[in-house]
Amino acid sequence: MNRISQCSRWLWIPLLCCCMCFTFGGCKEESAGRSSLHVSMERRSGAEKTLLPNDTPLEVSRYVVEGVGPQDTTFSVMSNTSAVDVDGLLIGNWDITAVGRNSQGVDLVTGSVSVNLTKDPLETVITLDALSGNGMMDIHLQWDASKINNPNLEVWLTDPEGTTTSLTPTTNNMENGSVVFNGSYPAGSYLLRVKLYSGATAVAGCAEVIRIVGNKTTEGTVALTLDKYADIPATITLVDNLGVPVECSIQGVSEVMQAQVPATATLSSGESTDLEVSWYLDGEEVSNALSCSFTPASGQHRLDVIAKGALLASTGSASITFKAAVEGTAGVPKIVGLVEDTTGGLYVGKNAHVAFLPDGKLVLASNQHQTIQICRIVRDTLEVVNTYTAADGFNAVQVTDIYVDPFTKLVAIADASIPSLSVYQYDSKNATLSKQFERNNTYYTNSSPSKTFTSLHHLSKDATTGILYALIPDASHVVETNLYAQTAESADPNEYIWWFSDPPVFDTLAISEGAQSAALADTATGFLKLCRKNDMGALFAQDEHFQSVDTPYLNNIASLEFINDDQLIYATDNDIGRFAYTSTTWAQKEVFTSSQNDIGVMEGITQLITNQNDTMLYVLAKNSKNIISFSLDGFGRPLFLRNSTLGDFAPARMAISPSEEHLAIVSDTSDSLVLCAIPQV
């Protein structure tokens, strides 16, 4: 019902008198001083798939039209339609304002117009092109803090006019993986863009459209996913200025993508010509076209698309979380990164040593820089978590070997500088090492003089006793250390392994996982000693000798690796062979030679390692600069798979991650580190 509010009551008397005078004098009819107004409202707003105020509809359900005219005359009309008729208005200038409200009475959009009413009825159009009022934004960002070291966050907010502002958290609990941003903003559609860093490496990000409504709070929680994979939506829905859904599909992205391979995502829509499109990969803008080309690193990613219609507040957004995995033959390593020395504070240098920790991080000892670092794999590269030097009480000079106990998280580091063996406790919560004890180089005092070592290498543990065995460069003795000791005094049992015969100085040592067998070898003479634990628990007992003079393919033995208690793989400079234990004796089995019988080239072999469940064997060859992959059958027999070239990188040592997803390789001649990913089945 229309309501007309005219001028004050005391003005009616003189106005009535004037009209009477004009009537008697032949004045015009009363209607000549008044007119009619027909008002039509055009909306320029729309809903979008975005962060919205809770329980706040964004569709206009009714309109309020108000006007101020001659002699301060006013009117106010409410209508459920976009067309309103107002009769009996005084002729003259009128300022008309229209407000569009939702079903809850919340003002959404406004518009105004000035008109000059004459005696003839007037039609006018008011464009509702201004969003109404100020609203609150309350956004929570969360991530898994255990997977981020030294977190750093960049957050930008772009307003409807296109001005971008960097935001500072209102509540900052970044160390625990949570920050909050809140504040008051004029109503409209905003773009929130986030990039999360671990150190200097970007690890996650997002782009979200946020709708601010007057006198309402828009709140939401955005999870920056690092290792959880969300479902892939088949379509996204954008709403244009008329509120009609525009069905849009994202093509070219699947739940698992191929890492380090160019990919293209395409936005398909019947209204594509009217959309402004922006693509963001992990919070970084990568395209403004209807399609987006990118090359993902391995790991978890989020792809966001922001599409804006031609009219106000018609912005929509959608996101897809996907995993980029290295593709290839299952179990065969593939280079994903060459980490240069001193990159991001990472110290590699020549003659470095590396070992994986139980949580997948690495301990890296740089002899060139005299540092020990804890690193984590991020986006096909390494990020430094902690760095230790001699100033921190660490023996980081002339490191000769590293052993990591997967059960106790103890880390043993041998050095030739003091020389000594230092044992550290690894704390996975904060990725730190704390020294437990340090044993000196005296390993037997019941002789004159006491026996000492110049360095230890090939650290190997008897899992049943906790004794850590090691070789020394100047005697055929095997030195013992109690890895689980609490003090340096209890760490040294003052015993060592020796034999009545006078064998050569051993260059390599291996102990089976079940601690029932041990093997030692001398490279120069091709001498191999295979031992079996006896009934008294002595590991280096029941030994058998094999030598190149009477056993073929033992020249230049370089590495030993047990598949299980009964299967040993050995490597010469260009062969790998197998020994098997049956009943009471060891016997040589098959031998694979470089470049023969469909076996790829493998020259200058320096190391053998197996994966955790002993289904894969990796052969590191320095001279041919490659990794040779073998699968292992149920009997421990190697089956050749493929050669993986390392380019110009001459490898020396490698380590495999507990998850069996990565290999880290260092060199004696190059100051870089090669990181390989291992495709899974």
Residue 298 has pLDDT above 50, yes or no: yes
The pLDDT-based confidence of 239 (bands split at 50, 70, 90) is very low
Residue 358 has pLDDT above 90, yes or no: yes
Residue 235 has pLDDT above 70, yes or no: no
pLDDT at 242: 30
What's the average model confidence in pLDDT over 243-271?
Answer: 70
pLDDT at 145: 80
Q: Which helix (H) or strand (E) holds 610?
A: strand 605-610
How many angstroms separate the CA atoms of 668 and 347, rounded? Answer: 14
- Higher-confidence residue of 334 and 224: namely 334
Q: Is 243 helix (H, G, I), strand (E, B) or coil?
A: coil
11-25, 344-358, 410-424, 552-566: segment of lowest average pLDDT: 11-25
pLDDT at 317: 66
- Higher-confidence residue of 222 and 618: namely 618
First to last CA, the chain: 73
Any bridge partners for residue 385, and if so which?
none
Q: Is 28 exposed, middle or buried (0-12, 13-18, 19+ CB in 10 A)?
A: exposed
Q: Is 5 exposed, middle or buried (0-12, 13-18, 19+ CB in 10 A)?
A: exposed
Q: Which helix (H) or strand (E) holds 291?
A: strand 291-294
What's the average model confidence in pLDDT over 539-566?
Answer: 95
What percent of the chain has pLDDT above 90? Answer: 48
What's the average model confidence in pLDDT over 216-245?
Answer: 48
- State the chain's mean pLDDT as an integer: 84
pLDDT at 634: 85
Residue 2 has pLDDT above 90, yes or no: no
The pLDDT-based confidence of 54 (bands split at 50, 70, 90) is low
The pLDDT-based confidence of 58 (bands split at 50, 70, 90) is low
- DSSP string over 128-174: E-EE-SEEEEEEEEE--GGG-SSEEEEEEEE-TTS-EEE---SEEEG
pTM: 0.69
Q: Is 80 exposed, middle or buried (0-12, 13-18, 19+ CB in 10 A)?
A: exposed
Tokens of 558: 């370089």
- Higher-confidence residue of 291 and 18: namely 291
What's the average model confidence in pLDDT over 655-663?
Answer: 95
50-64, 78-92, 441-455: segment of lowest average pLDDT: 50-64
pLDDT at 271: 56
Instruction: List, in sequence order, the alpha helices (H) in 408-493.
Output: 488-491
pLDDT at 23: 35
How many angstroms separate the CA atoms of 145 and 560, rounded? Answer: 40
- Higher-confidence residue of 201 and 589: namely 589
pLDDT at 159: 85
CA angle 323, 329, 330 (to 5 degrees): 70
The pLDDT-based confidence of 14 (bands split at 50, 70, 90) is very low
pLDDT at 237: 35
91-100, 225-234, 522-531, 615-624: segment of lowest average pLDDT: 225-234
The pLDDT-based confidence of 130 (bands split at 50, 70, 90) is low
Residues across the chain: 681
User: pLDDT tens digits for 460-490?
Assistant: 999 999 999 999 999 999 999 999 999 999 9
Question: Distances in Å between the alpha carbon of 161 and those of 192, 210, 274, 435?
Answer: 14, 14, 18, 58
What's the average model confidence in pLDDT over 42-49?
Answer: 45
Residue 15 has pLDDT above 90, yes or no: no
Whether residue 227 contacts residue 147, with contact meaning beta carbons closer than 8 Å, is answered with yes
